[in-house]
Amino acid sequence: MNPLTYHRARSIDEAIGLTGVGAPSLLGGGTNLIDLMRKGVEHPSALIDVTALSSEIEATGDGGLRIGAAARNSALAAHPLVRSQYPMLARAVLAGASAQIRNMATVGGNLMQRTRCLYFQDAAGSRCNKRSPGTGCDAIGGFNRYHAVIGASPSCIATHPSDMCVALAALDALVHVAGPGGKRRIPLVDFHRLPDERADIETLLEPGEVISAVELPPSPFGTDSGYRKVRDRASYAFALVSVAAGLTMRGGVIEDVCIAFGGVAPKPWRALRAEAALRGGPAIGEAFDAAFQGEFSDAAPAAGNAFKIELAQRTMSAILTQLSGSAS
């Protein structure tokens, strides 16, 4: 391991100031970053520990929720307001990793975690445009069962690994960031980039910017929402496909719906086209399937993961069928 320095930031301004020195990485719970340093994928010259920044989870004046970036995943999933007003988020967090990892991992770190593509993590032996731009991608034509079926590019077909972010995308979360140029809010659905020709640039964060909080607006879905995750084994595995969804009914038709997919794209995939197709229509399997087909009309699976498209369709249909039954 390379020599490095360690600083524990006491304020957001201190953290921003420290990012200007050398090639630092921000350290939350370390559940992903430390692994990548051990594997030779990440080589920071300094670690800026941001776990002393805000971890508060508190109601906002408009009925929403503000989550400090240093909040632990386990605290988020257990919070009474999350469980009562945003149950899909609690379920998504609990579907991720192990209890020990959730106790360490932070909300800000979850947003910044990197793909679990095996070739990305194999710094010694594999070509990877995300790790070393311009070198190629061994997943294309290799073992790509876990990779993207939509939103990928010829440079990278990796998936985003987060469960939490799928629910945050469905809930219209806003990411609060602060940096040398001031503060701004970025919709979660825009925060992560698709790979195009620069697979190594994964978010809209500018140099020196630090995530301070995640804000959730009031949700119209409440308990009429859920999260389903399909994986190769029952626990401690990343999603083959996941779906976060909320649905309300009025007069026998779908009044409102939100849908986001995980495990299928390089970022949490908000299904806006499917949502638009479903609003005002019947909550029946044929309508769910037609909406899915429209959403995934641009899908381009690799050799080893075409099964994900039918799996995603069935998972979406199953959760919407469940929600429409309980909401009507």
The site for ligand SF4 (CB under 6 A) is made up of 115, 117, 119-120, 128-130, 137-139, 147, 156-158, 199
Shorter beta-carbon distance to ligand SF4: residue 132 or 322: 132
* Tokens 């005002």 sit on residue: 280
C-alpha to C-alpha distance for 107 and 29, rounded to whole angstroms: 9
- Output the smallest distance, CB 206 to ligand SF4, in A: 23
- Output the smallest distance, CB 152 to ligand SF4, in A: 8
Among residues 118, 129, 104, the alpha carbon closest in space to that of 34 is found at 104
Task: Give the contacts of 231 (CB within 8 A, at least 6 positions apart).
Answer: 237, 238, 239, 240
C-alpha to C-alpha distance for 208 and 36, rounded to whole angstroms: 21
CB 304 within 8 A of CB 144: yes
C-alpha to C-alpha distance for 302 and 213, rounded to whole angstroms: 36
Inter-helix orientation angle 285-295/307-327, to 10° = 140
Shorter beta-carbon distance to ligand SF4: residue 142 or 187: 142
- Output the smallest distance, CB 94 to ligand SF4, in A: 27
Shorter beta-carbon distance to ligand SF4: residue 154 or 325: 154
The DSSP code sequence of 213-275 is EEEEPPPS-TTSEEEEEE-SSSSS---SEEEEEEEEEETTEEEEEEEEEESSSSS-EE-HHHH
Shorter beta-carbon distance to ligand SF4: residue 137 or 327: 137
Shorter beta-carbon distance to ligand SF4: residue 161 or 179: 161
- Output the smallest distance, CB 105 to ligand SF4, in A: 21
C-alpha to C-alpha distance for 128 and 138, rounded to whole angstroms: 6
* Tokens 């594997």 sit on residue: 39
C-alpha to C-alpha distance for 209 and 199, rounded to whole angstroms: 20
Shorter beta-carbon distance to ligand SF4: residue 74 or 113: 113
- Output the smallest distance, CB 159 to ligand SF4, in A: 9
Amino acid in position 166? V
The Cβ-side half-sphere exposure at 311, using a 13 Å CA radius, reads: 21
Instruction: Output the CA torsion sign for 94, 98, 100, 105.
Output: negative
The total of other beta-carbon atoms located within 10 Å of residue 262's CB is 34
CB 109 within 8 A of CB 28: yes
CB 151 within 8 A of CB 313: no
- Output the smallest distance, CB 262 to ligand SF4, in A: 16
Shorter beta-carbon distance to ligand SF4: residue 74 or 144: 144
Shorter beta-carbon distance to ligand SF4: residue 156 or 283: 156
- Output the smallest distance, CB 42 to ligand SF4, in A: 14
- Output the smallest distance, CB 46 to ligand SF4, in A: 25
- Output the smallest distance, CB 259 to ligand SF4, in A: 25
Amino acid in position 263? G
Shorter beta-carbon distance to ligand SF4: residue 119 or 221: 119
